[in-house]
Structures are given as C-alpha cells and as structure tokens.
Chains A and B, each alone.
Chain A
Amino acid sequence: MMVWAIVGIGALSFIVWAHHMYVSGMHPYFGFFFATTTLIIAVPTAIKVYNWVLTLWKADIHLTQPMLFSLGFLVTFLNGGLTGLFLGNVVVDVPLSDTMFVVAHFHMVMGVAPLMVILGAIYHWYPKMSGRMLHEGMGKFHFWVTFLGAYLIFFPMHYVGLVGVPRRYPELGDSVFIPDSVADLNSFISLAAFTVGFAQLVFFYNIFWSLKYGKPSGPNPWRATTLEWQTPQTPPAHGNFGDELPIVYRWPYDYSVPGADEDFIAQNDPGPVKKPQAST
C-alpha cells in the first residue's frame, strides 16, 4: 500500500505544477484544476504519514539516534505538509503567495524534514559504512539543537508571512502595515539560525571522531532485516556480498513475527526448512 502511495504521488505530481502559478496570470480556470489535483495528492501523502505514525502503535520503540531523527521528521513533515494545504487551495494562495509564508512552508517541508532524514540516515547507516557507532551524547545534543532550533526558525516565519511581508526583500523599510515587532521576530529567527548552524559542527566532529574511537558496531547493530545488513563484511567490501549473491525469501518488514526465534527475520533468511512437497 505504501508502494502504491509512492507511485501514486509520483504520477500525480506531474499534474500539479501550476499551483506555483496561481497568481502568474495564467488563465484563471486552470486554478480550479490545479487546486483540485494538488489537494488530491494530499491524500496518498496523508496515508503515508498515517502509516508511519500508526507504526508506533503497539510497537516496541527503541529511542535510538536514528529513531529520534525519524520522529523529528514526522513532526516537521507534518507541519510543512499541512501548511501546503493552505497554499494549494488556490484562493488562500492569493494573499499568501510570494510572502514569507511560502518561504516558511517550503523550508519546513523541503529543508528541515529532509535534513532530519539525511541526518537520521547517516546515523542509521554509519555503522554499516564504517563499522563503528556514532557517539551517543554528541548525537543526542546534535538532534535536540537541530530539531528544536530548526522548528523555532521556520514556525514563526509563517506568521511573518501572514502579516504580509513579501519574500526576497532584503529589508522591510518603514512600512506602516508591518508592526515593529516583526523586526524582533526576524532577529529571533536569525539567532536561532546561527545556533542551529553551529550545532552542525558537533555533528561533523562526531563523524570524524567516531571513525577512530567509536564503539565497534558489528554487522547488524540495529537488528534490521534488509539486505545491506547481511553482508559478510562490514564495511562491505568490493562486490558487496562475497562469493554468493543473496536469495530473498520475504519482504523487508518481518519484525516481531509471532513464532520467530528473533525479533527480526532477515530478507535472505529462508526460515524453518519446509518438508518437500510431493508434487515438486
């Protein structure tokens, strides 16, 4: 189902583009069409978000570093996706277009959320690539500053846009309709931005420090099912899988299968040997 949602989003995404052009002067009737397709594409996206969130239900949640970033991703992607509903609805886009609301929206959904994904992915696959775990304390610090800081940068920015401040303006001048407090808000956002930026130094230091001093991870520290964790060498050598390529028996999400020995069943695990069938 998730696969169909991805494919559906991919296909639908080819017929939504003019939601960036509602105020471009194109024929107004296009606005009806593209608003509809844009809001339709929100449905498979929502299904995916529900899937991720509901996976937490009755789960067994290990709050590891990649997990923290995944949760951070969910929050920021949800936020960004929901503000997209404002902008996709054509008539709501008219006052908000080309204001800082748009800037806040796309940074949240395309900047902060992918940043959470990238960082989470690096924390997740670093043990596979290097054979060592990243330092946990540095990782937690990095997560908290990045997540909270980035949220604090872009959440208030929506309100700057709501006031009517346009984007791509290096300064506001002394416009009457902009209250003075917007300048304070801008200063706050800037300070948050510098803080988050500097916190990334901790991350880069962690990467290089852990290469030498990180705890050895073994081949599958997260006890994951997918094939990259089943390579004979960690980090994987040239040729990836040694002499024999793996044979795949199952889908990648056999976690906590009732009756299984371990909490996970690797994709290339054939499972208990079945009695040969008479007809074969």
Chain B
Amino acid sequence: MVIGIVLVLLVIGSVVFHIFSPWWWTPIASNWVFMDSMITLTFWITGAVYVAVILFMAYCIFKFRHKEGRVADYEPENTKLEVWLTVVTSIGVAALLIPGLVVWGQFVNVPDDANEVEVVAQQWYWSYRLPGKDGKLGIVDNRLISSDNPLGIDPDDPNGQDDVVIDGEELHLPIGVPVKMLLRSVDVLHDYYVPEFRAKMDMVPGMITFFWFEPTRTGEFEVLCAELCGTGHAFMRGAVFIDSETDYNLWLNEQLTFAQLTVPDQIEVADNLVPGTNGE
C-alpha cells in the first residue's frame, strides 16, 4: 500500500524534476537542431510510457492488494491483448526510429560545398590543419611527425605546402559555412566533442573519421575529448571560435602555413654559417 503511494510520488517527482530542471543542454551553436528535437520527441514518448505504466502499477497495487478472502483472477493468456500491445509498441518504436534515421541520413551525407578542416588529436591536445589557398589538404604520414613537422605533412606533396598548421592552439571557423571535420589521431582513441555543436566522432588511429556541421552563432566554445585516452583525458581541452567572415579572415592571415613553418629552419641554418649574426 505504501509502495503504491511512493510509486505515484516517484513518478510525479520525476516529471516535476524534469520540468523544473535547470540542467538542460547548453544552447546550440550549429545546424543540428533536429538532434535536440529528436531528444524532445523521445522524452515525450518515453515519458508518456513511463508515467502510464507506473501509474497503472500503483493503481493495481491499491486495488488488488491482498485482502482477506480475495482470490486472483486466473487468466494465463490473452493473445488479443498481446497482439494489440505489440502493435502499439511497434508504432511507438517506429515513431522514434523513422525521424531519427531521417536526421541520421542528413548527418552522414556531407554537403558538397563543405569546407574541410583536419583535426589532429594526440595525448593530450588538439591540433588542426586547414587546406590553405589551394583548397586541398596534403598527404600526411604519422611517421613524419617531428618537432619541425608537428602534423606529419609530407614535404614532397605540393598540396601540403600551403596547409595552415595550428599546433595546439585554438581553431577558428567562419559562421554559416558548413564544415567537414576530418579527424585523425596520432596515438590512441580520442573524440572531438563540442557540446554546443552537438556532433561528435571518435578519432581512431589508422583511419580518418569525419562529421560535419554548420556553425550558426558566433562565440567561443570549449572542445572536450570524449573517448578515454589516458590520464590526461579530462584535461585535453581546446577552444574553437566561430567568427564572422571578416574576423575569420583576420585570424586566418595570422596563421602559419606548413611552408612557413619549415622556412625559418633554413634561415637559421644560413645564419649559423655566418658567425655573429642573430637568427630571426
């Protein structure tokens, strides 16, 4: 009897908690509003089922609790009810699955005009590579990674010379332009996750994974690693800024390309040949 009351209170409490909860998703900054809509739809459907079933249980506990002389009804099978419940559940499941898969179809089909940005993860920081003026990312090989070549760009590939290298710093992206993030890991599993963008994907060493999104508001957003990668996993944070087009271009002009990264070495070498001269 008490448990019946507690169940009702539990359900009411859960619903009230949900309605008044200040703990909700952070405001979205990308085009994936449909993910939020799907979550809301799922909350409605599952919430309705939850409330209905538990209130039904509480009702049964009240009405059919043991009293002197009470005998249970003997009804071991009710095929009609089973079929009806199966049909209703299937419809409920389909109501969740079909819109979900439609949105997933959008998620996996990258728009043709998306920019490409490579994200390189390693224990325990983020680096990025932009295709540069030629719009193509050059070939990379993890074996070429060194202190001069932090992302392992192949120096023989002409496409790689103008790739913009951002080593451990923040990334900037222009607002309103869809971007395909190409994810690469140097060592172990990582996951590029910005809560405001909603999308995330693991980086798996040995393959290139991707996800795409379109930023819809400016601001500074924190990047978190969402796949356990060692002791520094919780501290592997980064920052991504969504800028207006002018701000983005200003930022881009300040970044170094791969060619520029390797050039100072040549200057240093040259300077060392001339004693007494300071390097740049």
Q: Give the interface of A toward B (CB within 8 A).
A: 1, 23-25, 28-29, 31-32, 35-36, 39-40, 42-43, 46-47, 49-50, 53-54, 56-63, 68, 71, 74-75, 78-79, 82-83, 85-86, 89-92, 94-99, 148, 151, 155-156, 159-160, 162-164, 166, 168-171, 173, 175-177, 179, 181-182, 185, 253, 255-258, 263
Contact = CB atoms under 8 A, between A and B. Distances in A.
Contacts of A63: 1, 3, 61, 65-66
A164 B221 CA distance: 13
In order of increasing CB-CB distance, the 3 nearest A-B pairs are A164-B195, A25-B209, A28-B108
Contacts of A148: 6, 10
A163 B64 contact: no
A173 B89 contact: no
Contacts of A78: 49-50, 53-54
Contacts of A1: 77, 82
Nearest to A60: B72
B108 to A, nearest CB: 4
B217 interface: no
Contacts of A79: 50
30 contacts: A1-B77, A25-B209, A39-B97, A43-B93, A47-B86, A53-B53, A58-B73, A58-B75, A59-B72, A61-B64, A63-B1, A79-B50, A82-B46, A86-B39, A91-B34, A91-B103, A92-B39, A94-B200, A94-B211, A95-B199, A162-B39, A163-B23, A163-B24, A171-B234, A175-B224, A177-B26, A253-B76, A255-B74, A256-B73, A263-B71
Interface of B: 1, 3, 6-7, 10, 14, 17, 21-26, 32, 34-35, 38-39, 42, 45-46, 49-50, 53-54, 56-57, 60-61, 64-66, 70-77, 81-82, 85-86, 89-90, 93, 96-97, 100-101, 103-105, 107-108, 183, 191, 193, 195-196, 198-204, 207, 209, 211, 220-222, 224-228, 233-235, 237
Given A23-B202, A91-B103, A181 B234 contact: no
B198 A95 contact: yes
Contacts of A54: 81
A95 B195 contact: yes
A154 to B, nearest CB: 12
Contacts of B32: 94-95
A145 B49 CA distance: 26
A43 B61 CA distance: 25
Nearest to A67: B3
A74 B57 contact: yes
A168 B228 contact: yes
Contact of A40 (B24, B93, B225): B93
B42 A92 contact: yes
Contact of B10 (A42, A151, A177, A179): A151
A81 to B, nearest CB: 9
Contact of B46 (A71, A83, A160, A166): A83
Nearest to B54: A75
Contacts of A179: 22-23
Contacts of A32: 101, 104-105
A91 B233 contact: no
Contacts of A185: 23
B104 A98 contact: no
Contacts of A86: 39, 42, 46
Nearest to A140: B2
B31 to A, nearest CB: 13
B85 A85 contact: no
A258 B75 CA distance: 10
Nearest to A29: B108
Contacts of A39: 93, 96-97
B64 A49 contact: no
A85 B48 CA distance: 13
A35 B107 CA distance: 14
B95 to A, nearest CB: 10
Nearest to A62: B66
A114 to B, nearest CB: 19
B84 to A, nearest CB: 10
Contacts of B50: 78-79, 82
Contact of A257 (B74, B89, B225): B74
B66 A60 contact: yes
Among B32, B53, B108, B203, the one with the most A-chain Cβ atoms within 10 Å of its Cβ is B53
Contacts of B71: 60, 256, 263
Contact of B70 (A47, A60, A177): A60
Contact of B90 (A43, A71, A177): A43
A127 B183 CA distance: 59
B230 to A, nearest CB: 11
Contact of B201 (A23, A75, A92): A23
Contacts of B85: 46-47, 50
A68 to B, nearest CB: 6
Contacts of A90: 100-101, 104
